Structure 1
Amino acid sequence: MAGLGSSISETDLDRPSIEEYLAAESIRESSKKLLLRDLLDISPTLKEAAGAIVDDSFTRCFKSNPPEPWNWNIYLFPLWCLGVVIRYGILFPVRVTTLAAGWIVFFAAFFPVHFLLRGHNKWRRKIERKLVEMMCSVFVASWTGVIKYHGPRPSIRPQQVFVANHTSMIDFIILEQMTAFAVIMQKHPGWVGFIQKTILESVGCIWFNRTESKDREIVSRKLREHTQGADNNPLLIFPEGTCVNNHYTVMFKKGAFELGCAVCPVAIKYNRIFVDAFWNSKKQSFTTHLGQLMTSWAVVCDVWYLEPQYIRPGETPIEFAERVRDMISVRAGLKKVPWDGYLKYFRPSPKLIERKYELCQPLQFLVKYKQN
């Protein structure tokens, strides 16, 4: 009995009293409130940090990456100076002369064909296609372009559309010198706009303005009509909708993937050893971009024509677009990112931000209620 009494007393001593239990619970609740208050205090900082990370991940797709300087010592600097003299003093004048001569020959042949053969559309189209291909070849020669094409050359047939990743407007020129594509392109001002209206419309190109919502409906209708024509030039679309710096691919628009026809992926990869071919249209004009290419040593590029793809049963156009983007990214060695390229031009509206804020109001009220 003495042993049992001793055991009971030891258990009673180890068990906390009601006052101690309530005090521990009070301390625990106070700690939770302090932790919640600290988290709420740093939430703006966390929000800014997360926003900076997201913004950095997005803007990284649209930044030019300047090459590392190699003329940093007394041995390499003279060679660099010699290269500058050759590129700007010899190559650039020769390239400008070549380009000017090419334009003279092109206009001398194009306008007579365009206006004198109006009643012979078949022959006029065929000659205009060859002239456009020739002029694009002159452009490529003016950069000393070294282009390697892989896969079968595209042919003219209905119910097909070609889609490619987009680094610069020269993507179109590089592809056009091999096949006279009809491209979907943003309207441009200046001499580029003049070429669009007077020359490229002859090969069936379609222009749009991304700020006009009506243009989207018109372009969608023209796309369907173009893919039905047996004699129309192959249709080329850059579904990213903007130029990306050839390290990433952004989200593909689904328009090209809901036409119900074959989608032929084209992967383009530029070699940055001689020049960065990315056109940052927000910081430089296309004329400046061409000047940069024409004062470089060469433009080196690989183009892969991949196997035609068809939408699978039960597959949505968005899933189809992602599957094709996977193929292009893997073939060209590009990283996929989940961003919409139009965010390069359009930021979310204040109304959308306010709407998202209102959705978070009940959660904020609940947090404040628990804190009190």
Structure 2
Amino acid sequence: MTKLRSSSSEIDLDRPNIEEYLTDSIQEPHQKFLLPNLLDISLTLTEAAGAIVDDSFTRCFKSNPPERWNWNVYLFPLWCLGVGVRYVILFPARVVTLALGWIVFLSSFIPVHFLLRGHDKWRRKIERKLVELMCSVFVASWTGVVKYHGPRPCMRPKQVFVANHTSMIDFIILEQMTAFAVIMQKHPGWVGLLQTTILESVGCIWFNRSEEKDREIVGRRMRDHVHGVDNNPLLIFPEGTCVNNHYTVMFKKGAFELDCTVCPIAIKYNKIFVDAFWNSRRQSFTMHLLRLMTSWAVVCDVWYLEPQNLKPGETPIEFAERVRDIISVRAGLKKVPWDGYLKYTRPSPKHREQKQKTFAESVLRRLEEK
């Protein structure tokens, strides 16, 4: 029999009811409720501690830097040489490439956009090719090595493409192969200027998370675009936010209730040369591009997967989860049951009050039993 000795007493740890023993040993009346009350909240404390330890939500939005390899006297000089090559040779060459690309693009896009207004079909076709060319220049400025798997997307009515989302460069990598019309958050600065001047020529649709009315307007424009015959293929990132390419968060159901074919696209980046995840809350897109342009290369795989349709009796939410399963398996990503918009907002007061009410009712119920 195991016993615990102290200076004043000896406690038998093999007793069948340790709770009864400890409660009986407390002489003061007001302390008799101490242990039961602690036991009442033990499940809640366990759940809270488990959520802190296994915080799969914040893990989705954290960049995981690679392990340092320049830790000894032999490797550090090689690392310094690599820094010199990237910043002194590669970066200036990439800036020149990007500048020349912009010169060629603008000198062609502006005349086409204004001089061919009466010939919309030809104007849209040339603008699509120019946008694809400019996206290829962006990829070249990162020394992008992209492998595309599967048949190339084509223009068909009543279809929408959905992909997992790691950075805004997802759109650029996909756009250099096919002139997609994308659903994207409206950005300020030079990115917003490009959105309103150049990208609108391929039919892109913008939204603002802070405006509730945008959901209805964007939904209507999405339906009109999908059912158009001559419109560019519609590309949607249903996660609604950038995730660090290790996880997939919940897909919004808007893309899956359009009554059309859904074509999944899986994107997986190789972190050996650079981590392509864009943490928009800590880094501007300009600094993100500079980090990519001072890296060795951006390496990724893109899979165009088999088109999917809504099955009989299947809800849009179930359809979204099925497509998320397909993308997650192909790209080797882990699914988590989180809404990506929680990254931008706090839990609603109604949700907190409901949790508090449930906990209070459980404590009162136990006190009545005692």
User: What TM-score, normalized to structure 2?
Assistant: 0.90
Q: Is the 8 A contact 2:40 2:366 kept in 1?
A: no
Name 2:193's counterpart in structure 1: 194
Name 1:160's counterpart in structure 2: 159
Partner Cα distance (2:20, 2:320) in 1: 56
Alpha-carbon RMSD across the aligned residues, in angstroms, is 2.0
Partner Cα distance (1:364, 1:45) in 2: 13
**TM superposition shift of 1:365:** 1.6
1:161 is paired with a residue of what secondary structure? strand
Q: Per the alignment, do residues 126 and 274 of structure 1 end up closer, same or farther by CA in structure 2, a change over 3 Å counting?
A: same
Partner Cα distance (2:342, 2:20) in 1: 49
**TM superposition shift of 1:222:** 0.5
Q: Is the 8 A contact 2:219 2:254 kept in 1?
A: yes
Matched AA of 1:116: L
Name 2:98's counterpart in structure 1: 99
Name 1:269's counterpart in structure 2: 268
Q: Deviations over 1:169-198 (max 9, x none)?
A: 000000000000000000000000000000
Name 2:246's counterpart in structure 1: 247
Partner Cα distance (1:287, 1:147) in 2: 22
Q: Deviations over 1:324-366 (max 9, x none)?
A: 0000000001111111100111111234312332344332221
Partner Cα distance (2:96, 2:318) in 1: 48
Structure 1 segments (4+ residues) deviating >2 Å: 26-38, 40-48, 349-352, 358-364
Equivalent pairs: percent with the same residue?
75
Matched AA of 1:350: P
Q: Deviations over 1:5-28 (max 9, x none)?
A: xxxxxxxxxxxxxxxxxxx9x958
* 1:1-372 mapped onto 2 (5 Å cutoff): 36-40=36-40, 42=42, 45-46=45-46, 48-53=48-53, 56-371=55-370
Gaps of 5+ in 1: 1-23
Gaps of 5+ in 2: 1-16, 25-31
Partner Cα distance (2:20, 2:196) in 1: 76
1:68 is paired with a residue of what secondary structure? coil
1:263 is paired with a residue of what secondary structure? strand
User: What TM-score, normalized to structure 1?
Assistant: 0.89
Q: Is the 8 A contact 2:207 2:218 kept in 1?
A: yes
Range 172-181 or range 56-65, more displaced: 56-65
Q: Is the 8 A contact 2:40 2:363 kept in 1?
A: no
Larger Rg: 1
Partner Cα distance (1:74, 1:38) in 2: 55
Count of residue correspondences: 346
Partner Cα distance (1:48, 1:352) in 2: 16
Matched AA of 1:210: R
Q: Per the alignment, do residues 327 and 37 of structure 1 end up closer, same or farther by CA in structure 2, a change over 3 Å counting?
A: same
Q: Per the alignment, do residues 93 and 27 of structure 1 end up closer, same or farther by CA in structure 2, a change over 3 Å counting?
A: closer
**TM superposition shift of 1:104:** 1.0
Partner Cα distance (1:250, 1:356) in 2: 23
Partner Cα distance (2:301, 2:84) in 1: 28
